[in-house]
Amino acid sequence: MKILVVGAGATGGYFGALLARAGQDVTFLVRPARAAAIRARGLRIAGRGEQWLLTPGLVTADELTGPYDLVLLSVKSTGLDRAIEDIAPAVGPDTAVLPLLNGLAHIDALNTRFGEKAVLGGVAKVVTTLDDNGDIQRLAPLAHLAFGEQDGAVSPRVERIRAVLDGAGIDAPVPDRIITAMWHKWVFITTFGAVTSLMRGTVGEVYDAPGGPSLAPAVLDEAAAIAAAAGHPVPESERAATLAVVSVPGSPMVPSLYRDLAGGRATEVEHLFGDLIDRARALGVATPLLDLATLHLRVHERRIAAEA
């Protein structure tokens, strides 16, 4: 299978590296600076007993020619519009585009540009980060990539892609309703992001403060209420799994959104939070805590824009 991985960051870089190591025909679409860094140093994966180096195929947007079988789209939502235009030469009539972004707005954008038939839904769960050298550090054993057709059909192309992912050691379930799975991940990531960003602390720092244990369940209730109103209720097992991450004494966990906030970088506030509270208003769901988290992040965005 001819695979184009868009982005060689913590998520796309890790999944793409697993696929390349398994012998798949993988090319990374990267910006010129990232291409130069990988050509000089290689694509390095480290952490949890792993230490391996790849010299993968690389292209920049101006070098793309002809379609791929699978386009694995792993970019920040702030780079989505540019990425959509960049990958256009790689998307042919039989190409499957599998995005790994959180939220749902990107599905609408991809459907508009390439047609719903081309676009799969996807939910990535992997705990990785880029270090100061641009190497991918694996922080936990999770490597999970759920995906499927937007209408829930288990198509021949889904079966082919699942076989490729399985062969690379990637846990690749095909849920009955991938859009519902995406909603549930959205509920998780916004709860995680709101708790840590509002309080400017790790999960454990928030939980261990007086009054802290009540925050995560309250935020989760709001996010889950939006999902339920949209037709995607969160089962109790998912709620428990979310609280097992975002409401734990002593936990050092923070999401990537918090790391961007703390580092003075742009966040995905509009894609993750702005879109969610807009849907809440349309559905008549009150979300005071999520509104507050959104405002907090928007003030941050305005500050860094003014400083740029």
Could you tell me the two tokens for 177? 């309703």
pLDDT of 141 higher than 80: no
pLDDT-based confidence at residue 51 (cuts at 50, 70, 90):
confident
Tokens encoding 14 = 């890790």
The pLDDT of residue 131 is 86
DSSP code per residue over 128-141:
EEE-TTSPEEEEEE
Output the pTM of the full model.
0.93
Instruction: Say which residue the tokens 């519009």 belong to.
Output: 81
**Predicted pLDDT at 246:** 97
Nearest alpha-carbon partner for 169 in 17, 6, 8, 7: 17
Rounded CA separation 140/37 (Å) = 25
Q: Residue 219 pLDDT more than 80?
A: yes
Per-residue confidence band for 308, with pLDDT thresholds at 50, 70 and 90? confident
Nearest residue to 209 via CA among 196, 192, 190: 196
| 190, two tokens | 């916004």
Domains and CATH numbers, the chain: 2-176 (3.40.50.720), 181-307 (1.10.1040.10)
Residues 228-246 pLDDT 10s = 999 999 999 999 999 999 9
What is the Cα–Cα distance from 118 to 113, expressed in whole angstroms? 10
pLDDT at residue 138, rounded to an integer: 86
Among candidate residues 224, 222, 216, the one with its CA nearest the CA of residue 247: 216
Helical residues (DSSP H) of the chain, grouped into ranges: 12-21, 32-41, 80-87, 105-114, 156-167, 178-199, 203-208, 215-229, 236-246, 256-262, 269, 275-283, 288-307
Please give the radius of gyration of the chain, using alpha carbons only, rounded to the nearest integer.
19
244-271 per-position pLDDT tens digit: 999 999 999 999 899 999 999 999 999 9
Cβ neighbours for 105, distance < 8 A, ≥ 6 positions apart: 77, 271, 275
Residue-level pLDDT at 126:
86
Confidence (pLDDT) at 268: 95
How far are the Cα atoms of 8, 124, 173, 205, 222 from residue 288, in angstroms, in the given order?
A: 36, 28, 35, 22, 8
Give Cα separations from 261 to 23, 96, 112 (angstroms). Answer: 37, 33, 31
